[in-house]
Amino acid sequence: MTFGFDELPPELLEVLQLSHELHIRWASESPFNTTAPFLSRLSPGLHVHYTPLKQRQNGLLCPFLQKAFSQEMHCHSPETSFIRPPLISERFASTSSWQYYSPLGSLSNLVAYIQRHVCVPSDISCLHTASLLNIVDALDFDYDSISHALLVTAFWSKPPAVFYDPIGEFTTYDAWNIDIKAESGDKVEVGILSSSPPTDAHDLQLSGFLTVVGEDDHPKATLFSFPSRHHSLTASQASAQRYDVSFLPPTGLHPTLQISFPSASSLIAPTTRPAGSVCALHAYLTLPSFIFADKYAFLGNDPLFQESHHLGQLRSISGETDLEAPDYVVRKWGSTMLLELGVPDSGLNQTTPTLPHTWDVTIPLHLRYLPPADGGQSVAQVPWPVVFWACTAEEGTKFPVNPFDRTQLGYDGLFGPRTMFYHLEPAPIVGTKRPLVEKITIPVLDTKSPWASAVELVTAVAILSGFCWVLMRLAPALSYQIGLRRDKGHQKKTQ
């Protein structure tokens, strides 16, 4: 859906008028299947990519995000809460300069905001359409200062599970039943399309029927193809390369994230890639502020470290990576990390005579100290990483923007202009209750413990004692330096 400035709430309009571009992306915590051409994936939660207009500060963005999505978001301003992603390539002329993430399991607050500030109370159709966002799998808001329009894209992988029939009973339902009307001056085009095998490995091909509501008297057959950067694996490869994510027990303050694949022999580059294409398996991690990776451990490119964890090179890391800062002094939302993963044929496992039944990649991480809490434990959630094959396209291949294209994903701008992404599917089967986030228990100071005040006192005494000890050790050296300066000054006066 495309909205002009005159159709937007005043507070949202003010935010957009101070933005060069703004991209808000949300992905559900529940597993879902993608379908062509909507094949790109994101870690669960709310992702914001933002570029200010002429470097002007936008103090309205964070308050709007909190009002529209969640008051619990730790967002103060782009300058203090957002991170600056590294731009390895100038692939896109308008790559966003600021990036933000927040865990968000539900869009119920957004639905209520739209029903209060966008819909007219008497417009039942608007109220019902907004309520459908409660079961959406992915939602995008895209704005740039050139188009002066807000594009909203919603994706449902399946229709509503139930509907309320006139008799007054809930009935299972397995198809969409929507009344689509074209208001005066609006153009509504409806397409029923399915993907078909393309003639070119770079392309996606769709066929089916299109109709313009209120203008066409019958659907028109259509067939078209277009170059696409995002692709899916074949059905057999997708099933064999599903991945699972977990933390190895015990977690403690140095948890290890494990990405598990069904078998080592199944990790083969996409068979539908272009001839001569070179591929590498990658994982893109979105890490909230309480958890981070020690970039120095990965930047060393130690072969033993990589082999033991089945890892390749660290391609990118940005955000809060301070090794010592506790979480309550970290101002920005967290960090991102792009890692190349080792696969059996990459040379990282040549010493093993027989390949294991499963292939596990482990990523050492670190937890920050959290504020004290009752019970001595805090529970936090870490979103699953996105795993994909990045493959080179043929020389001269161009990927023009198409109506289904999805940019500003965080990881796409970290690759060259001729890169194709083949996305792997998360392991949980659609319909299961297991979400695409991992809960982790973090040990903290127990405020109800009788030793809590004693711990604070002993900590303060230890810090003060250490400071005094350092001064005592430095005192002889300082006295010696002062004496040398006095002797030099005395010599100059005698001369």
Structure tokens at 364: 């050492």
Q: Rounded CA gap, 402 and 40, in Å?
A: 14
The residues, ordered by sequence, that sit 6+ positions from 273 with a Cβ below 8 Å of its Cβ are: 201, 279, 389, 391, 420, 422
Question: Quick check: helix, strand or coil at residue 179?
Answer: coil
- The one-digit pLDDT tens for each residue of the chain (495 residues) are 888 998 899 999 999 999 999 999 999 999 998 998 899 999 999 999 999 887 666 789 999 999 999 999 999 999 999 999 886 544 444 468 899 999 999 999 999 999 999 888 888 888 888 888 999 999 999 998 888 899 999 999 888 765 555 555 555 555 677 777 777 777 888 989 998 888 888 889 999 999 998 888 899 999 988 889 999 999 899 989 999 999 998 888 899 999 999 988 889 999 989 888 899 999 999 999 999 999 888 887 788 999 999 999 999 999 998 888 899 899 999 999 999 999 986 544 444 445 557 899 999 999 999 888 888 788 999 999 999 999 998 876 777 777 788 889 999 888 888 899 999 999 865 455 789 999 999 888 877 777 667 777 888 889 999 999 998 888 888 777 777 777 666 666 666
Q: What is the pLDDT of residue 171?
A: 52
Cα 145 to Cα 16, 118, 150, 174, 192, distances in angstroms: 8, 22, 10, 40, 32
Helices in 246-350 by DSSP H: which ranges? 295-299, 303-309
Backbone angles phi, psi at 177, to 5 degrees: -135, 90
Cα 394 to Cα 274, 309, 389, 405, 456, distances in angstroms: 7, 32, 16, 19, 62
Of the candidates 388, 439, 418, 385, the residue with the CA atom closest to the CA atom of residue 231: 388
The answer to whether 291 and 367 have CB atoms below 8 angstroms apart is yes
Of the candidates 236, 252, 182, 179, the residue with the CA atom closest to the CA atom of residue 213: 182
Cα 480 to Cα 469, 477, 491, distances in angstroms: 18, 5, 17
Q: What is the pLDDT of residue 92?
A: 44
Q: Rounded CA gap, 135 and 156, in Å?
A: 7
Q: What is the pLDDT of residue 491?
A: 65
Q: What is the pLDDT of residue 352?
A: 45
Q: Rounded CA gap, 416 and 419, in Å?
A: 6
54: left (phi over 0), alpha (psi -120 to 50) or beta: left
Q: What is the pLDDT of residue 138?
A: 96
Q: What is the DSSP string of 322-390?
A: -SS--GGG--S-EEEEEEEEP-GGGTTTTT-SS--SSEEEEEE-EEPPPPPBGGGEEEEEEEPPEEEEE
Q: What is the pLDDT of residue 354?
A: 53
Cα 239 to Cα 120, 234, 324, 424, 435, distances in angstroms: 46, 9, 41, 9, 19
One-letter amino acid for residue 389 of the chain: W
Of the candidates 255, 204, 191, the residue with the CA atom closest to the CA atom of residue 231: 204
Residue with tokens 């009935």: 171
Structure tokens at 489: 């000054």
Structure tokens at 439: 């809960």
The DSSP letter of residue 55 is G
Q: What is the pLDDT of residue 90?
A: 46
Q: CA 344, 345, 350: angle at the middle one, nearest 5?
A: 70
Prediction pTM value: 0.85
Q: Rounded CA gap, 268 and 264, in Å?
A: 9
Backbone angles phi, psi at 231, to 5 degrees: -140, 170
Q: CA 97, 314, 142: angle at the middle one, nearest 5?
A: 30
Q: Rounded CA gap, 394 and 23, in Å?
A: 29
One-letter amino acid for residue 306 of the chain: Q
Q: Rounded CA gap, 442 and 329, in Å?
A: 17
